[in-house]
Amino acid sequence: MRIQWASVLVDDQEKALRFYTEKLGFELKHDVPLGDARWLTVTAPGEADGTELLLEPDGHPAVGPFKDALVGDGIPFTQFAVDDVQAEYERLRELGVVFTQPPATMGTVTTAVLDDTCGNLIQIIHVAE
């Protein structure tokens, strides 16, 4: 068993695609029309055969209150690994990405939290070994 897909629930798939590719640097893997929505996935740069992030519509009635509660409490929906949180924070801020938490180090872990513009907080993280 392996992780092939993970979802992030987005309020607008086109806006999410632009943010996750143009700002975060992910690469489009699949864009398949499915009625009013799309099977829309991205992968890490240079990892086309790696785990795919599904930019999934957040239309289910339970999703709005769930996302609102997470954002209201400052809880990230998911995390992405980076080699250098400070450098990524600076790169993304230059691109206009809004952070709700600047880089913070806690022991061997450094994190920062950004707003993905699609209703989610996303944490970038580096764990020093």
Closest CA to 50 of 93, 5, 86, 18: 5
Instruction: Please give the Cα distance from 30 to 38 (Å, whole number).
Output: 9
The string of pLDDT tens digits covering residues 47-102 is: 999 999 999 999 999 999 999 999 999 999 999 999 999 999 999 999 999 999 99
How high is the pLDDT of residue 17? 98
- Residue 36's pLDDT band (cuts 50, 70, 90): very high
Q: Which CATH superfamily is domain 5-127 in?
A: 2,3-Dihydroxybiphenyl 1,2-Dioxygenase, domain 1 (3.10.180.10)
How high is the pLDDT of residue 106? 96
Give 18-85 as a DSSP string.
HIIIIIS--EEEEEEEETTEEEEEEE-TT-TTSPEEEEEE--STTHHHHHHHHHHTT--SEEEE-S-H
Average pLDDT, integer, range 100-122: 98
- Domain ranges across the chain: 5-127
Average pLDDT, integer, range 96-123: 98
pTM of the predicted protein model:
0.95
How high is the pLDDT of residue 69? 97
How high is the pLDDT of residue 129? 84
The string of pLDDT tens digits covering residues 4-35 is: 999 999 999 999 999 999 999 999 999 999 99
